[in-house]
Chains A and B, each alone.
Chain A
Amino acid sequence: MRLSDASVAIRPRTAWEAMDLGVLMAREHRLLLTASWALVTLPVFILLSAALWKYPSTAIFLFWWFKPAFDRLPLYILSKALFGDTPSLNQAVRQWPRLLKGQLLASLTWRRLSLSRSFVMPVSQLEGLDGQARQKRLGVLQQRDAGAARWLTTVGVHLEIGLWFGCMALFYLFIPQNVEQNWDWQRLILATSSEGLWLEHLSNAFYALILVFWEPIYVACGFSLYLNRRTVLEAWDLELVFRRLRQRLSTAAPLLLLVIGLTFLPVNPPAMADESKPLSTQSASQSVKALLDKPPFKNPETVTRYRFGDDKPTVKNKDRGDSKLPAWLQALLDNLNSDTFKHFAQALEVLLWSLLIGGLALVAWRYRDWLRTFVSRRAPASPKVVKPAPTQLFGLALGAETLPTDIASTAEQLWATQPREALGLLYRGLLSRLLHDFNLPLKSADTEGQVLERVHQLEQPQLLAFSDELTRHWQNLAYGHRLPPTTIQQKLCSDWRALFSSGGPQ
Chain B
Amino acid sequence: MPSTPLDTRYQIETPEGIDLPLRPAGLVPRVLAFAFDLLARGVIMGVLMVPLALLGNVGLGLGALLLFLVSWWYMVLFEVLNQGCSPGKQVMGLRVVQDDGTPVGWSASLIRNLLRFVDMLPFGYFLGAISCLQHPHFKRLGDLAAGTLVVYRERPLPRPQIPQAAALRLPFALDLNEQRAILGFAERQGELSAERVHELAAILAPSLQVSPARAAQQLNGVARGLLGPT
Contact = CB atoms under 8 A, between A and B. Distances in A.
Interface of A: 5-10, 13-14, 16-17, 19-21, 23-28, 84, 86, 148, 151-152, 155, 158-159, 161-163, 165-170, 173, 213-214, 217, 221, 232-235, 237-239, 241-246, 249-250, 253, 257-258, 260-265, 268-270, 272, 296
Size category of the binding interface on chain B? 35 or more
B190 to A, nearest CB: 12
B56 interface: no
Contacts of A6: 5
A8 B207 contact: no
B172 A243 contact: no
Contacts of A245: 174, 178, 181, 204, 207
Contact of B209 (A166, A173, A261): A261
A6 B5 CA distance: 7
Contacts of A249: 172, 207
Contacts of B200: 235, 238-239, 242
B172 A241 contact: no
B185 A260 contact: no
B123 A257 contact: no
Interface in B6-41: 6-9, 17, 23-29, 31-32
Interface string B115-146: 00000001111100110011010100000000
A239 to B, nearest CB: 6
Contact of B2 (A7, A23, A162, A238): A7
A148 B200 CA distance: 29
Contact of A269 (B5, B29, B129, B169): B169
**6 nearest CB pairs, A to B:** A166-B126, A20-B26, A162-B124, A84-B1, A241-B181, A9-B7
B123 A166 contact: yes
A16 B29 contact: yes
Interface string B166-195: 111111101001101100110010011000
Contacts of B134: 27
B196 interface: yes
Contact of B207 (A16, A23, A257): A257
Contacts of A253: 172
Interface string B144-173: 000000001000000000000011111110
Given A151-B28, A272-B228, A238 B184 contact: yes
B6 A28 contact: yes
Nearest to B27: A23
Given A155-B28, A159-B129, A250-B206, A238 B181 contact: yes
A501 to B, nearest CB: 79
Which of the listed residues A6, A167, A168, A238 has the most CB atoms from chain B within 10 Å of its own CB? A238
Contacts of B172: 249, 253, 257, 260
Nearest to A262: B209
A232 B191 contact: yes
